[in-house]
Structures are given as C-alpha cells and as structure tokens.
C-alpha cells in the first residue's frame, strides 16, 4: 500500500498498517497481533470498539449524522452537555462548548479568557503540549519539532519551569522563576491566564507538584488571572479519578477536554465557570462540525461506562500491576538503562537513562522496535524522547496487561 500521497511531514512511530482492534489488542493488515499500550495516544481509555460506544454510533447514524449546532440545535449535543457538565467535579455552575479536538478547545479557551479579562498574555510551562495549531504551538514548552520553520507565533506567551517530583523541579524553584518573570519580563496585570497540565503527557508523564498547584491557584485569585487546566490526556479516568486536577485540591476556571471524551470519535470541549463561557458576543464561539451528533452519542455512551466505581477499579488495577512490575525490575537490576517511574494512577511513564542520568534516547528507539516485533506497541515522550508512555486502555484484561508487561520486560533485557 503506497504512502506517497501522505505528507512526509507527519512523523510515524510504528511503520505498520492497522486493520482492526478489540479492547487492548490490535491487528495489522498482515494479521499480526499487538497489545496496545498506546491507546491512540490516550484516546481509547475504554479500548478499541467498546460495545456501548459502537452501539451508540450505530444507532445515531440511522437518525442524524450531522447538523451544525449553531444553525439548528440537536438533541445529542444538548444531552451530552447536560451529562458532561454534571460529570465535572467542581462546586460552581458550569457551561461549555464542544469542539473537534483538544487543540481547538485550547484555541477557544484563549478567546474566552481574552474576552473575560481584556488581557492577552499567557503563562505556560516547560515541557507542555497543548496542540499543533498555530496558537497552541506557542503554548508548547518545546521547540522541536513543533515550532520549527513556522515563523512568528501568536503571543505574548511566557514559560515557567514545571515543578514535579518526577523531574526534580521543586515548588520553591518554580515560584522563584515566577517571581523573576513578573519582576523582569511582564507586568502581572497584563496576564490573562495560566495554562497547565495536572500531569504532563508529551513532557513525560510528570505529575504536577500539589503545593505549587495550590500556590498558583491563590496567586491567580489574588491577581485576577484565570487558571486553565488541560485535561485532554489526563482526563476521563486516566489517573483513577474523573480528572487529575482533583488530586491537587484546586478548582480551575476553565478545563480543556478531548482524547478519551468520545471513545475514539473526534471530539473535544472547553468547559468552566458559566460567567466566563458566556462572556463573548453571540457567534463568538461555534463551529460547523463541533458537537457532531455521532460524536455526541459516542461521548454519552462513554460517560455511561465511566462510573466512579469503574474508574477507581480500573485505575488501581493498572497502577498496581505497573508499579509492582517496575519495583521488581529495579530489585532485579533488569537493565542499566531503567530510570524513574513517572506519573500517577494508570498514567505512567518509564524513563530510560544512562548511568550518569542523561537520557537514553537511543535505547528507547531500540525498545520501540524490539517491543513492536514482539507484539507490543509503545509510545515515546519526554523532551529527549526517552520516556515510555504507558496508555493501555483502562479496560484492558488483567491477563493481557500482564502479557504486555512480560514482553516489555523481555525487551528491556535486550537493550544495549
């Protein structure tokens, strides 16, 4: 099958062609089976072809495949927003809008905070990833490959160190950098918002320091700055709770959603304080495909499956299996390249590092190929592309998870 018609600027991690999948397993066009630890990069928390999602898509496709909500509202959009806003664990009135993707949710959030504050500056964090559109590129805390050759980006945007026990940056260091930023670079009164991931995805599954999160919330309140939490990858049960911000003991003003919101169908959302969401003029928000009826039906079915009991059980089972296996590998001295275990819940990263602590990027590239040949698909992350992202479906069968970890263990032993 030729790929000459596909842009060569799209980077491919695994040079295979997938045919079909079921829960945590996929098959390529040659019939080879793989255990999927990528999950569509965090999209498939409910696995491939979840029966409830498939049935919802099938039924909706016989009723209404599309209507632009801003032309004429439709029932699936309304039902989903009622369900979704009730699913957000905050104490204030919530409203929102649906988008086509997480990046589009971020773009709309920037419009919302500009309208609400009259300010334009945004503070983001090193290692962040918020999308591939022109505005979100500037939010990303990484140049290569996202910002290369695209010229001047929309701004103003400033970056701070991301504090986490997973990367060694302390709360005090991040607060000191913030103090310098507002002393040297920009007037605090020009800042519209901070945008931050409670657990960085692309950055290497780094869990945000709780003390810093609470200090940031206080700082925003004291200076009339809005706080956007990006839950696009960390949300919908990935950390064992509905959303990862709950572990931080704070409430955001706006929340970005995407990825696992609709069981694999393209959809995103920005939700938050109703007064903020309503501040733009009529017509200031919207989109032709945003909140497509089929995507909305899939998202309602996804929420049906994501009970708190399910999320806790799924998250604990996967966390315990990964942590136990990692601790065994450390005790065995499985490989000299085994670094830290990052993240929280079922959102875990395994760092590969050299003896001097530098990233073992070469070995990670080797591991991707070894694991793929042995039947496991892995996804890299981290600034140096040296941290494996473990994003198996939350619904993965325990035996399949153990099989995948067995294969990963065997491949780690082969690194040189």
Q: What percent of the chain has pLDDT over 70?
A: 96
The tens digit of pLDDT for each residue in 47-106 reads 999 999 999 999 999 999 999 999 999 999 999 999 999 999 999 999 999 999 999 999
Q: Is 70 exceeded by the pLDDT of residue 1?
A: no
**Residues 127/202, Cβ–Cβ less than 8 Å:** yes
Looking at per-residue pLDDT, the higher value among 203 and 144 belongs to 203
Supply 314's token pair: 């799924």
pLDDT for 10 equals 86
Before 7, cis peptide (omega within 30)? no
Report pLDDT for 2. Answer: 63
Q: Enter the tokens of residue 124.
A: 């983001």
Distances, alpha carbon 113 to alpha carbons 43, 119, 157, 236, in Å: 27, 8, 14, 24
Distance CA 339, CA 358 (A): 10
Could you give the domains of the chain? 53-305 (3.40.640.10), 308-413 (3.90.1150.10)
**pLDDT tens-digit series, residues 272-316:** 999 999 999 999 999 999 999 999 999 999 999 999 999 999 999
Q: Say which residue the tokens 């275990």 belong to.
A: 341
**What's the rounded Cα separation, in Å, for the pair 322 and 68?**
43
Question: Region 19-33: what's the mean pLDDT?
Answer: 98
Q: What is the pLDDT of residues 398-411, one digit of tens each?
A: 999 999 999 999 99
Q: Can you tell me the distance from the alpha carbon of 63 to that of 297, in angstroms, rounded to the nearest whole number?
A: 11
275 vs 3: CA distance, rounded Å? 48
The Cβ of residue 11 has, within 10 Å, a number of other Cβ atoms equal to: 6
Is residue 150 over pLDDT 60? no
**Residue 13: HSE in the Cβ half-sphere, 13 Å Cα cutoff:** 21
Split at pLDDT 50, 70, 90, the class of 145 is: low
* pLDDT number for residue 338: 97
- Interval 130-136 mean pLDDT: 82
SS3 label, residue 82: helix
Q: Tell me the per-residue pLDDT of 33-46, one tens digit each, with 9 for 90 and over.
A: 999 999 999 999 99
Report residue 165's pLDDT band, with 50, 70 and 90 as the boundaries. very high
Dump pLDDT digits (tens) for 362-390.
999 999 999 999 999 999 999 899 999 99
Residue 69: its pLDDT value, please? Answer: 95
In terms of DSSP H, where are the helices of 234-306?
Answer: 274-277, 293-305
| CA atoms 227, 152, 381, 317: torsion sign | positive
Residue 286 phi, psi (nearest 5): 145, -170
Separation between Cα atoms, residue 389 and residue 368, nearest integer Å: 11
* DSSP letter for each residue of 352-376: EB-TTS-B-HHHHHHHHHHHHHHTE
- Distance CA(227)–CA(120), nearest Å, equals 14
Which pLDDT score is estimated for 343? Answer: 96
Taking Cα atoms as reference points, which of 166, 116, 136 lies closest to residue 351?
166
């Amino acid at each position: 099958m030729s790929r000459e018609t596909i842009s060569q600027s799209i980077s491919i991690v695994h040079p295979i062609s997938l045919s079909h999948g079921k829960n945590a397993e996929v098959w390529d066009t040659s019939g080879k089976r793989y255990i999927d630890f990528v999950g569509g990069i965090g999209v498939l928390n409910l696995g491939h072809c979840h029966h409830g999602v498939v049935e919802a898509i099938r039924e909706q496709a016989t009723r209404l495949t599309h209507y632009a909500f801003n032309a004429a509202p439709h029932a699936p959009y309304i039902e989903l927003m009622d369900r979704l806003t009730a699913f957000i664990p905050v104490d204030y009135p919530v409203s929102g809008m649906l988008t086509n993707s997480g990046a589009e949710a971020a773009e709309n959030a920037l419009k919302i905070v500009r309208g609400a504050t009259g300010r334009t500056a945004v503070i983001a964090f090193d290692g962040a990833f918020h999308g591939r559109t022109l505005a979100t590129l500037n939010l990303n805390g990484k140049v290569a490959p996202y910002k290369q050759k695209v010229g001047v980006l929309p701004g103003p945007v400033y970056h701070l160190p991301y504090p986490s026990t997973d990367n060694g940056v302390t709360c005090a260091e991040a607060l000191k950098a913030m103090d310098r930023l507002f002393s040297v670079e920009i007037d605090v009164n020009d800042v519209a918002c901070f945008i931050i991931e409670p657990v960085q995805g692309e950055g290497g599954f780094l869990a945000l320091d709780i003390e810093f999160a609470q200090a940031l919330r206080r700082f925003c309140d004291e200076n009339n700055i809005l706080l956007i939490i990006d839950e696009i990858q960390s949300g919908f049960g990935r950390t064992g709770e509905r959303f990862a911000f709950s572990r931080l003991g704070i409430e955001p003003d706006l929340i970005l959603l995407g990825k696992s919101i609709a069981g694999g169908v393209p959809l995103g959302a920005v939700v938050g304080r109703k007064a903020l969401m309503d501040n733009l003029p009529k017509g200031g928000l919207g989109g032709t495909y945003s909140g497509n009826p089929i995507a909305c039906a899939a998202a309602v079915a996804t929420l049906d499956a994501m009970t708190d009991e399910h999320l806790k059980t799924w998250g604990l089972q996967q966390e315990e299996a990964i942590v136990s296996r990692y601790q065994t590998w450390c005790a065995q001295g499985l490989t000299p390249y085994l670094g830290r275990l990052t993240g929280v819940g079922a959102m875990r990263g395994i760092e590969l590092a050299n003896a001097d602590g530098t990233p073992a990027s070469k070995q990670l590239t080797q591991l991707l190929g070894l694991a793929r040949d042995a039947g496991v698909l892995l996804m890299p992350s981290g600034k140096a592309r040296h941290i494996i992202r473990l994003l198996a479906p939350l619904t993965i069968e325990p035996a399949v998870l153990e099989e995948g970890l067995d294969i990963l263990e065997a491949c780690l032993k082969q690194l040189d």
